[in-house]
Structure 1
Amino acid sequence: MRRSLRRLGRVIVLVIGLSVIMTAIYRVVPPPLTPLMVIRLFEGNWISKDWVSYDAISPNLMRAVIAAEDSGYCAHWGFDFAAIQKAFRHNEKSGRLRGGSTISNQTAKNVFLWPGDTMLTRYARKAIEPYFTLLVEVMWGKRRILEVYLNVVEWAPGVYGAEAAARHHFRKPAADLTRREAALLAAVLPNPRRFSASKPSSYISRRAGQIQAWMNDVPDPAGDPCLR
């Protein structure tokens, strides 16, 4: 038993050490691939992505994503407990499930963790997601988290990151996205393989209109999303 516990302890220390090293590397180096991208490759889907710096992404898109995905982004340390409670109450009453995850949660999940729809993989991922969320909050900061998120999130089948999404949907660089285009991109984020920003359904058009209104409450993210 003692030998088994020592081995388990060594494994835990090794995993923690590797996770800290990888997080430190990704603080300055773009993640080359995410687990989701690898899975999509094995499924036969090619990858379209083009990493760009924070300053090469339109502030309109930053505003839209914060407004749609995490309005309290600058006020929390990775976990918005009010949003989690609100989502829980909503899901008890509605057939349309709503998540309470933050941009920090989603970034940690996209970069370090695996997707999966089975009960086992979902619970295993949820168990370690808080650790990676806190890790990126502490080691990266809000600007880097948002930069990474906007560069790795999927915006259409096989299309990852703001630059690839802007060129795929609107034939322009991410720096030139208008408020409406940014709102349309943010509107499809919950399910980018079902909805299209360039060919929006009536639901996506309405949601984009809501997001455009919410964007007025998000401070100018140019330079740093959380500087006042």
Structure 2
Amino acid sequence: MAALLVVFVALPVLLILLYRVVPPPVTSVMMLRLLEGQAISRDWVPLRDIAPNVRYAVLASEDNRFCAHRGVDWTALWRAAGAELDGGARGGASTITMQTARNLMLWPQRSYIRKGLELYVATLIEALWPKQRILEVYLNIAEWGPGVFGIEAAARHHFGVSAQSLTRQEAARLAVILPNPIDLHATASTGHVTRQARVVANRIDQLGPLLDCVTP
């Protein structure tokens, strides 16, 4: 029991405190990809060196209420749980903080155990990190293609530019592929990515003060 408490309670707290100031050297998802035999491409960049377009597009696509919630959007979570119990689609309530927790310390496969741990770690992250640090870590550990981790590697892989130079449309395209980075490609000329990127780019202008916590 003591060992379990250390692994599931104390260790996440210590790591989250450390990662508030130190870039995570590796994540659980990166380790999984390495075990699958993939090469990893990743370059950490501070938030100040990431185009504001990226911040806004990711919030517009993934988590409109990032600046308003405390790690878990309970309204959206209960709505998604109710839809699942009624036989609807699963998912749809994962905040950027929850995705950060999952990518950093957990695993991608869905389960109720993982979801419970995800809620716990996300709550800790929100309590111990400012919003801009959460977004900085998320953008640097998110997967944007097979073995492509972090916004700098994603920008160079998909568009041949740095994260600092991404346009609004390029940022919107990258945001759109986040839910399925293995099967979707940001430079697709037709279909889902193109349609959704237009929606995301237009939505940015509608968020207004909901972007305040990540505005430079």
TM exceeds 0.5?
Answer: yes
Distance 2:90 2:124 in 1: 27
What are the equivalent positions in structure 2 for 1:22-171 lying under 5 Å apart?
22-88=15-81, 92=86, 97-116=90-109, 122-171=111-160
Residue type of the alignment partner of 2:66: Y
Partner of 2:203: 214
CA deviation vs aligned residue, 1:85-134 (integer Å, no higher than 9, x gap): 4434665575x6442110000001111112235xxxx2221121111001
Distance 1:226 1:136 in 2: 20
Residue 217 (structure 1) shift: 2.5
Residue 222 (structure 1) shift: 9.3
- Judged with a 3 Å threshold, the aligned counterparts in structure 2 of structure 1 residues 48 and 170 are, in CA distance, closer, same or farther, namely same
Distance 1:47 1:17 in 2: 29
- Number of equivalenced pairs: 214
Residue 155 (structure 1) shift: 0.5
Deviates more, 1:84-93 or 1:68-77: 84-93
Q: Unaligned 5+ residue runs, structure 1?
A: 1-7
Contact 1:35 1:115 in 2 (8 A): no
C-alpha RMSD of matched pairs (Å): 2.2
Partner of 1:225: 214
Partner of 1:204: 193
Partner of 1:14: 6
Residue 160 (structure 1) shift: 0.5
Max Rg structure: 1
Residue type of the alignment partner of 1:14: V
Contact 2:67 2:212 in 1 (8 A): no
SS at match of 1:217: helix
Distance 1:140 1:226 in 2: 17
Residue 84 (structure 1) shift: 2.3
Distance 2:189 2:65 in 1: 27
Q: Unaligned 5+ residue runs, structure 2?
A: none
**Identity of matched residues, %:** 44
- Judged with a 3 Å threshold, the aligned counterparts in structure 2 of structure 1 residues 152 and 163 are, in CA distance, closer, same or farther, namely same
Residue 82 (structure 1) shift: 2.5
Residue 214 (structure 1) shift: 0.8
Distance 1:189 1:197 in 2: 10
TM-score by length of 2: 0.90
Deviates more, 1:100-109 or 1:14-23: 14-23
TM-score by length of 1: 0.86
Residue type of the alignment partner of 1:225: V
